[in-house]
Amino acid sequence: MYKHKTDEERFNELKDGEFGYIYVASGSSIICRIRGKHPNMKPKEIYEKLHLRENPEMPRMKKFTDTEFELTYFND
């Protein structure tokens, strides 16, 4: 039987000290939410790795530490 993993379980499976991310339910079809881990990268480096550009609409860091991040952006 298949067990659906929670966002927290999927996030915890990401390796510490390496770049990795998961998509998290945002409650909206036009807003994407990403949660991930990184090896002490700057926000700009994370945006580049995700192929996102900084502009007034996207992306927005909701959480950022030296090892984890969470951001949202518009997907229209």
Give start and end residues of each alpha helix (H) in 5-74: 7-12, 43-49
In a domain, 15, yes or no: yes
In a domain, 2, yes or no: no
In a domain, 1, yes or no: no
In a domain, 40, yes or no: yes
**What sign does the dihedral 60-63-67-73 (CA atoms) show?**
negative
pLDDT at 63 over 90: yes
> Please, which residues have CB within 8 angstroms of residue 42's CB and are 6 or more apart in sequence?
none
- pLDDT at 55 (0 to 100): 64
The verdict on pTM exceeding 0.95 is no
Domains: count for the chain: 1
In a domain, 26, yes or no: yes
In a domain, 69, yes or no: yes
What is the Cα–Cα distance from 14 to 38, expressed in whole angstroms? 10
| Residue 61: domain span | 7-75
Contact 35, 76 (CB under 8 A): no
**Per-residue pLDDT tens digits for 8-57:** 999 999 999 999 999 998 778 888 899 999 999 999 899 889 988 766 55
pLDDT at 59 over 70: yes
- pLDDT at 57 (0 to 100): 54
In a domain, 39, yes or no: yes
In a domain, 27, yes or no: yes
pLDDT at 71 over 60: yes
